[in-house]
Amino acid sequence: MTDLSGVDEKTRTELEAEVFRRLVQHLRDRPEVQNIDLMNLAGFCRNCLSNWLKDAADARGLGVSKDQSREAVYGMPYEDWKARHQSEATPEQKAAFAKGGGRH
């Protein structure tokens, strides 16, 4: 991020961390928003966030598992979240995902 002139690196990192926490909370507060909808509209989803978190931990040599990074994003074990909130994708959602290249 280069457009926050006058903001030191430590403060910039703290701001980015707060934004991440707010985004994660925003998604936790809206479990009705399906990951496939996020992918179709924005090109990323909760799983992407958890993968990016794990990548960052891996880059620092931290022993964070995929399950731990997912729980940090979902606020509960991933399998629990899926059972409570994930619905079967509709044919329209699947078609939109396929049209977008199925990137994930």
Is the confidence at residue 1, as pLDDT, over 60?
no
What pLDDT score was predicted for residue 104? 59
Sketch out the chain's domains with CATH numbers.
9-99 (1.10.3340.10)
**pLDDT score of 101:** 65
Helix axes 78-85, 66-74, angle to 10 degrees: 40
Between helix 91-99 and helix 35-42 the angle, nearest 10°, is 40
Single pTM value for the model: 0.87
**In this predicted model, what pLDDT tens digit does every residue of 33-90 receive, in sequence order?**
999 999 999 999 999 999 999 999 999 999 999 999 999 999 999 999 999 999 999 9
Helices 46-59, 66-74: crossing angle, 10 deg rounding: 130
